[in-house]
Amino acid sequence: MTQEVQSRPPEDLLLPPEVKGLRLLLWRVRHAEELRWVRVAALRVVFGVLMVALWEGVSGRLLDERIVSSPSLLLEAFFEIVSPRNPDGSLWIHFAYTMENTLWGYLLGAALGILFGFVLAEAEIVAQVIEPFIMAFNGVPRIAYAPLFIAWFGIERQPKIILVLTIVFFLTFVSTFSGIRSVPQELVNVARVLGGGKIAILRKIVLPSASPWIFNGLKISIPFGMVGAIVGEYIIADKGLGYLLQRYNNEYFTTGIILVIFILMFFVIAVNQALNWAEGRVLRWRPTSSLGQEAAIPN
Amino acid sequence: MENFSLDIHDRELVTIVGPSGCGKSTLLNILAGLYPPSVGEVLFEGRPIRGLNPEIGYVTQQDNLLPWRTLQKNVLLPLEFRGEAAANGAAERVRALIAKVGLAGFENHYPHELSGGMRQRANIIRTLVYNPRVILMDEPFGPLDAQTRLTLQNQLLELWQEERKTIIFITHDLTEAISLADRVVVMTGRPGGIKSVTPVRIPRPRDVYHIHQSEVYREVYDKLWEELRAEVAKVM
């Protein structure tokens, strides 16, 4: 009994026993270690609200509304632009167009990137031969290729998809390639001694060992892939978020530009969250925190 | 390595000691078939070894468990490679071996959740599970603390008694070499060769915890230590 009392945090002892119900809940949210995430979430909301309030406060007073926009203007513009009566077409049409292009480019680029990463990591001589060519192609900012892609693939969605594809391809290719190159040779040797054939070793040793790298490549590809789609639309398009940005820019419509930026932000956060979740499931075997776990292990 | 010629009998437990850098691990890598010898040959049941031999198991100093597989799945791996993982009795054999080395209850733990001693036990039964005729061991208990070492030596002897494998065991520890062995091989420094082969006539089953009290143990220990000291001095 004594031990139990001692191991509790001191605040726990200060809590008067008659505190119950809602007050107890509030007290726990403020002090309990396991409810830390509630505190963090609540403080995040407070921080966000304060930022918005500040923005609203200075806009039109200290700073020109036409340059910095304001949350209320943003909200107004949002409802206007999502409306199907909008002459540009509803926001959803633009959003879907950009996302479809991103998705197709992403899927194709990632599939090719992972495939090539695997093949080239196994074919040493080929990898050495083409490495400088790949680096040269990848080293040039992708926007420089955009006019070429438009000339080759037209002004519809194809050049946008290809632009996304080339970006995603390189990121996933490099991460897969490095992942496979860093598979510990001891593990491969052990698997050989234990009777593993080439294909079995690839499936059971190389792929899982490289999977954290591959995931990383897939994750960083998302925002970069979207850049590709938007740049493509920015140059020439009649639809898409990039097209909207370009139009609003020509019209000096700051509120619209900020609105598109916000939409992109929310989207990237959502997708990243989903991928983190998937990664956590696939890579369950990785030690998350060695602290506290060590003590429980008998010899 | 030079002039290395040694016959190892079926179901024998031979330990090898020698100064560092004399090529003990190289010897095992050659025996396992990971690398071919530059000169000479290794015969297994009268036939030369070319490439990996599925009848030879190899337990390395590092446990080399796959971090993304649970204990049970790690032990099952060689059976998966052989297409026997789904066979009748495979799961039972894995479970029985895990229980035999005292790891029951940890089947679904990942390697990072196990201690060094537990991982090394898993490493050993991962080799036993597919029943190789010969098992090579390269200082498998090297990184472990003294108590864990003794426990694992004891378990190894029990397993060997039951499964009756041929074991070639490399170690730095003379006591370990004597406790386990039918014969102890002392290797010379560079170039690595055989200095002596000493039979250990301590009756089995042996008690590794009290073996140092045995008269025979002391005699063998003194003889081996003299030989080894001369070799170590040459290398230094």
Q: Position A292: which residue type? A: G
**What whole-number distance in Å separates Cα of residue B6 and Cα of residue B8?**
6
Average pLDDT of A204-224? 89
- Measured CA to CA, the distance from residue A264 to residue A229 in angstroms comes to 12
In tens digits, chain B (236 residues) has pLDDT values of 666 677 888 889 999 998 877 778 888 888 888 888 877 778 877 778 777 888 889 998 888 999 999 999 999 999 999 888 888 888 888 999 899 888 889 999 999 999 988 999 999 989 989 888 899 999 988 878 888 889 889 988 988 888 888 999 999 889 999 999 999 999 887 777 888 889 998 988 888 889 888 999 999 999 999 998 888 887 66
Contacts of A286 in chain B (CB under 8 A): 67-68, 112
Predicted confidence at residue B111, as pLDDT, reads 92
Is B78 within 8 Å of A195 when comparing Cβ atoms? Answer: yes
Q: Residue B189, CB half-sphere, CA atoms under 13 Å: how many?
A: 12
- Whether A294 has a pLDDT exceeding 50, the answer reads no
Taking the C-alpha atoms of residue A86 and residue A249, their distance in angstroms, rounded to an integer, is 18
What is the structure's pLDDT at B71? 94
pLDDT at A19 over 70: no
Which of helix, strand or coil describes residue A192?
Answer: helix
Two tokens at A199?
A: 């294909």
Mean pLDDT to the nearest integer, A23-37: 80
Kindly tell me if the per-residue pLDDT of A17 is higher than 70. Answer: no
Nearest residue to B72 (alpha-carbon basis) of B40, B45, B101: B101
Say yes or no for a CB contact (<8 Å) between B114 and A297.
Answer: yes
A 10 A CB-CB count for B188 gives 24
pLDDT recorded at residue B1 = 60
> Judging by beta carbons within 10 Å of its beta carbon (0-12, 13-18, 19+), is residue A224 exposed, middle or buried?
middle
Which stretches of chain B sit within 8 Å of chain A by CB? 32, 34, 52, 54, 56-58, 60, 62, 64, 66-69, 77-78, 80-82, 110, 112-118, 126-127, 130, 145, 147-148
Interface TM-score (ipTM) > 0.90: no
pLDDT, average across residues A211-229: 88
- With CA atoms as reference, the chain B residue closest to A202 would be B81
Instruction: Check A187 against B64: CB less than 8 A apart.
Output: yes
Give the pLDDT confidence score for residue A235 in this predicted structure. Answer: 83
Lowest mean pLDDT among A53-67, A142-156, A165-179, B112-126: A142-156
B69 min Cα distance to partner chain A (Å): 7
CA distance linking residue A146 with residue A282, whole number of Å: 36
Superfamily for domain range B1-55+132-236? P-loop containing nucleotide triphosphate hydrolases (3.40.50.300)
Measured between CB atoms, which of B34, B56, B66 is closest to A187?
B66
pLDDT score at A290: 39
How is residue A204 annotated by DSSP? I
pLDDT of residue B38: 78
Q: Give the closest-approach CA distance of A175 to chain B in angstroms.
A: 19
**Contact check, Cβ <8 Å, A193/B58:** yes
| Amino acid in the structure at residue A164 | V
3-class DSSP state for residue A284?
Answer: coil
d(CA A51, CA A148): 43
Per-residue tokens: A48: 């966000």
Res A85: pLDDT: 74
The tens digit of pLDDT for each residue in A68-83 reads 888 888 888 888 887 7
CATH 1.10.3720.10 fits A79-280, yes or no: yes
Residue A188: list chain B partners with CB under 8 A: none
Q: What is the per-residue pLDDT for A13?
A: 54
pTM of the model as a whole: 0.73
Domain with CATH 3.40.50.300 in chain B: 1-55+132-236
Rounded Cα distance between A49 and A37, Å, is 18
Rounded Cα distance, A259 and A234, in Å: 16
CA dist B25 → B20, B22, B32, B33, B171 (Å):
10, 9, 10, 12, 10
The tokens describing A79, both together, are 């409802």
How far apart (Å, rounded) are the C-alpha atoms in residues B187 and A158?
70
Query: Does residue A44 sit at the B interface (CB-CB below 8 Å)?
Result: no
Give the whole-number percent of chain A exceeding pLDDT 90.
Answer: 19
The SS3 assignment for A272 reads helix
Number of C-beta neighbours around residue A65 at 10 A: 15
In chain A, where are the structural domains located? 2-58, 79-280
Identify the band that residue A266 occupies on the pLDDT scale cut at 50, 70 and 90: confident
Nearest C-alpha in A relative to B152: A299
Q: Which two tokens stand for residue A184?
A: 């510990």
> What's residue B142's pLDDT?
83
C-beta of residue B35 within 8 angstroms of C-beta of residue B29: yes
Q: What is the pLDDT of residue A287?
A: 67
Helix (H) / strand (E) element for A158: namely: helix A157-181
Strand order in the sheet with B166-170: B56-59, B134-138, B166-170, B13-17, B183-187, B194-199
Strands B183-187 and B194-199 come out as antiparallel
Question: Is the pLDDT at A114 greater than 90, yes or no?
Answer: yes
A287–chain B nearest CA distance, Å = 6
Q: Quick check: A26 pLDDT over 60? A: yes
Three-state SS letters, B40-92: CCCEECCEECCCCCCCEEEECCCCCCCCCCCHHHHHHHHHHHCCCCCCCCHHH
